[in-house]
Chain A
Amino acid sequence: MEFYLSLLTLFGFRILLGLSAYVVILTGQISLAQAGFYALGAYTAGAASSMWGWPIFPAILLGGLVGGLFGLLVGFPALRVHGLFLVIATLAFTEIVRMVFLNLKYTIRVGDRTIGPAAAEGFRGITYYFQNGWSSLQIVVFTWLFVLLVLLAFWLMDRSRAGAVLRAVGEDELAASSVGINLTAVKVAAMTAGGFVAGLAGALYAHYATYVSQEDFGVLLATFAIAYALIGGTGSVLGPIAGVLFFSLLIDGLRFLGDWRNLLFGVLIVAMMNLRPHGIIDVGLVRRVASLLRPAGGRAYAGD
């Protein structure tokens, strides 16, 4: 049971991370900065709860806000670069964040313990959950509260004009700006929202793990964030969930295959990209399911 609860918690972080990449990908941007936002969220929220004595809820929220703030800051220069150049620029951001945390030493002593980011040794003692005697179930519920809130917010956004505008920018920037869409505002807003959600994910992860280190927040994490969204599909907010399930089942479910797992992993990803180039849950699938669910002769509504 404990195993499944912690798996469910892990899924929560991964889904949030996938969603943070999803909102950016909708605007046609591929960003490797999500790992940097995640790291910033993890360190600030960890410091807030374990060093500054903040209650857990504002601490997590602070992690999200710091992620969002850096999303805003990265968003503006990112406007000037496209495609592969954006990938490289955002990767540089993630690496800079990692380097800063590799060197940041800011610790306090609580009793006989040292708490705080201790440069290369990482950040120990983010023990809010354990000090307050939270059970695994409580941690799952708390994590998923955020996951469900973000899912709900994104789902509403997707049905709204805002969602259509994000997708329009992702499809054709020139056409979008020529029909009156302010590209700067839309792309920066997407990056900010993505930063906020990645920050939340990092904040929640730090409290679950109790120990974080810059090693956890490198290019691999950033790649997974994109992979969750792309393999899962950008047709709906359910896409990143499908992506997380796909990867998690591959990683954890195929362990019995030993070394063969890595081979199969590669084959499956190549196969997926061939079978469903727009991800598992693409726009076409969303529409087919929607038309099945819609009562016959029912009024088709524009929002979906």
Chain B
Amino acid sequence: MLAIEGLSKHFGGVQAVHRVDLQVRGNEILGLIGPNGSGKSTIVNVVTGVFPPTEGRVRLRDRDITGWPPHRVLAAGMGRTFQGIRIFGGLTVWQNLWVAQKAKSEEGEGGLLRRWLAVDRASMKKIEATLEFCRLRDKKDELARNLAFGEQRRLELARVLAAEPDLLLLDEPAAGMNAAEIEDLRDRILALKQRGKTVVLIEHHMELVMGIAERVAVLNFGEKIAEGPPAAVQDDERVREAYLGHRQGGGQA
């Protein structure tokens, strides 16, 4: 589905990401973990075109999308959410999804102008269904900035879903959530997989990642240090070191 080949991103002298290779298979849930500053978010940003890589290629379904701007990456089928919440606060919940909605020409009755000026029934139904999926339907006419924190998080997911990507990069979706909300998020990610989506879950919350990811990749200091099924990765010596420090070093946690 997604192939990251020898990807590096340097900011001045800082090697945020260094020669990372990563394959994401279709319809899997891949966990991408690592300590703070290990380059997880940088990978998301480079892969989705926020900034170009220093070197390396990004392929999405055999298409080389290296350096494409974010809107083209999305059109090619890869969407993402942000680590901090980035919703359109001055728009209603409904409008947040409306602007993101994929404008597929084959579905639109009428021409370009009509597609931009009017809402056709099919798109309206789709938006309602996505709102339902993210339990935001009763909030649809609220201004997004007036939503509670958990709802804003759900809105960010709903918004990218409205664009109907096949592959989703979720950048720390559980940050700041309580146990019940995380449980809810877990169910939603599993439901996405059921619907045929591929999910890359960038997360700090180990329980969540280890619970639902089929494979986990671990980053440390911008390099991939391990990859494999959750159980194997948890037992990996280098991963333990990355998270807990050197054993010989006196147990610096």
Contact = CB atoms under 8 A, between A and B. Distances in A.
Interface in A152-169: 156-157, 160-162, 164-165, 167-168
- Chain B, interface residues (CB within 8 Å), range: 35 or more
Contacts of A51: none
B54 interface: no
B98 A183 contact: no
B249 to A, nearest CB: 39
B163 A160 contact: no
Interface in A285-304: 287, 300, 302-303
Interface in B81-130: 82, 86-92, 94-96, 98-100, 102, 115-119, 124, 127
Which of A174, A175, A177, A181 has the most C-beta atoms of chain B within 10 angstroms of its own C-beta? Answer: A175
B189 interface: no
B85 to A, nearest CB: 9
A302 B88 contact: no
A55 to B, nearest CB: 28
Given A172-B86, A175-B87, A300-B141, A162 B159 contact: no
A182 B141 CA distance: 25
B191 to A, nearest CB: 21
A172 B91 CA distance: 11
A88 interface: no
Given A177-B69, A179-B160, A302-B119, A167 B90 contact: yes
Given A164-B99, A168-B91, A179-B159, A156 B71 contact: no
A293 to B, nearest CB: 14
Nearest to A291: B141
B79 interface: yes
Contact of B140 (A167, A179, A181, A302): A302
A180 B118 contact: no
B74 interface: yes
Contacts of B124: 302
Contacts of A175: 82, 86-88
Contact of B143 (A157, A162, A165, A287): A287
A216 interface: no
- Chain A, interface residues (CB within 8 Å), range: 20 to 34
A164 B96 CA distance: 8
B143 A283 contact: yes
Given A164-B91, A171-B91, A179-B163, A302 B98 contact: yes
B172 to A, nearest CB: 15
Given A160-B117, A161-B99, A302-B119, A174 B50 contact: yes
A283 B118 CA distance: 21
Interface string B45-76: 00010100000000000000000011100110
Given A160-B118, A164-B99, A302-B141, A178 B91 contact: no
A164 B117 CA distance: 11
Interface in B134-152: 140-141, 143
Nearest to A175: B86
Given A156-B117, A160-B118, A172-B86, A177 B99 contact: no
A254 interface: no
B176 to A, nearest CB: 18
Contacts of B90: 167, 171, 283
Contact of B98 (A164, A176, A178, A287): A164
Interface string A105-142: 00000000000000000000000000000000000000
In the A-B complex, list the 7 residue pairs whose CB atoms are closest, starting with the nearest. Answer: A179-B100, A175-B86, A302-B94, A177-B70, A180-B74, A300-B141, A160-B117
7 contacts: A168-B91, A168-B96, A175-B82, A175-B86, A178-B70, A300-B140, A302-B95
Interface of B: 48, 50, 69-71, 74-75, 79-80, 82, 86-92, 94-96, 98-100, 102, 115-119, 124, 127, 140-141, 143, 159-160, 162-163
Given A164-B99, A178-B70, A302-B141, 10 more contacts: A162-B117, A167-B88, A168-B99, A171-B91, A175-B82, A175-B87, A176-B88, A178-B80, A180-B74, A302-B94
